[in-house]
Amino acid sequence: MTLASRVPVTIITGFLGAGKTTLLRNLLQRAAGHRIAVVVNEFGSLGIDGEILRGCGVEGCKEDDIVELTNGCLCCTVADDFLPTMEALLDRADPPEHVVIETSGLALPKPLLKAFGWPTVRNRMTVDGVITVVDAPAVAAGRFADDPEAIAQQRAADPSLDHDNPLAEVFEDQINAADLVVLNKTDLLDADALARVEDEIRHTAPRPVQIVRATEGKVDPAILLGIGAAAEADLAARPSHHDAEDGEHEHDDFESFVVRVPEQQSVEQFLTLLQDTARRYDVLRMKGFAAVAGKAMRLAVQGVGTRFRHEFDRPLAANDGREGRIVVIGQKGLEAPAIAKALGGTLVTA
């Protein structure tokens, strides 16, 4: 295979709940007809993103075009899991024209970029672009900002300290790697606030970066695909906290677990319960499914902070039972048993 015919790969990154899966679903719908393979890596063990994408309803989008890597965070399992997956895609009788990778919301993209320099894929794939999806209202609310007082105190004790907020570190790495930033959820901010968020991103980025605004991840596929960045050959321009950490990074700052919840009496009560619990325990992300009394359809719920959405997404199968499951993700120290109790459920994994 000549260098010119290397398969382009687009990496979609962005913090938990920024809208990566929503953007990808939209892209698959609008780019129908192209042979796109999707690799999804999620933090939390329910495989919800893969299920959402499989249900995208796009004609010609085959089930085995969506590959889930659930064994830990992509950026730490590159050699074991990721590279063999890439090779298997390339070796298919009908290989994809384009590969899109959705990283977990906590992944630092740089180790993944580095993987494209490995001998087994170097001559066969090129990173067309890194797209970082940003949750505009979360930035505006200061989710990724350091507490200036706390950091000043901690720096006095440890001058090498960069951030006191682990979210700031992940956000910065994801912006640093970007060829394109999609500023998503613009429906939730006014023009002034959006302009401030854009300024903050430009200020964070180590080099000029293109920013496009979006709602519901709707961006023209022609903007997303075909950037032609060859990002794997341009690593020095993409500084990372991972560079200084000898290959380790701070997933220890975050944790996730699953809560089994009983059949719910009403959608409204359940949403209120989820919201109250997210607020009280400072949960970053919740997503999952539940059964509701008298309903044959499954209730899918998605929470980013205290903002929740829900839909009845598909009929419950006979073997689904009436018990639901919710993934809960937050910073280390989440009170898992208390959260499970607050949701009226049982803790499955901690």
Q: Which residues bind ligand GTP (CB under 6 A)?
A: 14, 16-22, 42, 49, 105, 184-185, 187-188, 215-217, 285, 302, 304, 309
CA distances from 349 to 45, 46, 258 (A): 9, 11, 6
User: Which residue, 68 or 232, has its beta carbon nearer to ligand GTP?
Assistant: 68
Two tokens at 315?
């009929």
| Cα distance between residue 6 and residue 29, in whole Å | 24
> Residue with structure tokens 């295979």?
1
CB within 8 A of 208, min separation 6: which ones? 202
Q: At what angle do helices 166-176 and 191-204 cross, to 10 degrees?
A: 80
Contact 134, 14 (CB under 8 A): yes
Closest residue to ligand GTP, based on beta-carbon distance: 105
Closest approach of Cβ 14 to ligand GTP, in Å?
6
Nearer to ligand GTP, 299 or 304 (CB): 304
Given a contact cutoff of 8 angstroms between Cβ atoms, the answer to whether 19 and 216 are in contact is yes
CB of residue 49 to ligand GTP, shortest distance in Å: 5
Contact criterion met (CB below 8 Å) for 36 and 66: no
Q: Tokens 């920024």 belong to which residue?
A: 18
Q: Tell me how far apart the alpha carbons of residues 217 and 30 are, in angstroms, rounded to a whole number.
A: 12
| Least Å from the CB of residue 103 to ligand GTP | 9
State the nearest-atom distance from the C-beta of 57 to ligand GTP, in Å. 16
Q: Which is nearer to ligand GTP, 309 or 322 (CB)?
A: 309
Minimum gap (Å) between residue 319 Cβ and ligand GTP: 26
Sign of the four-CA dihedral 89, 94, 97, 102:
negative
Residue 69 CB, nearest distance to ligand GTP (Å)?
A: 13
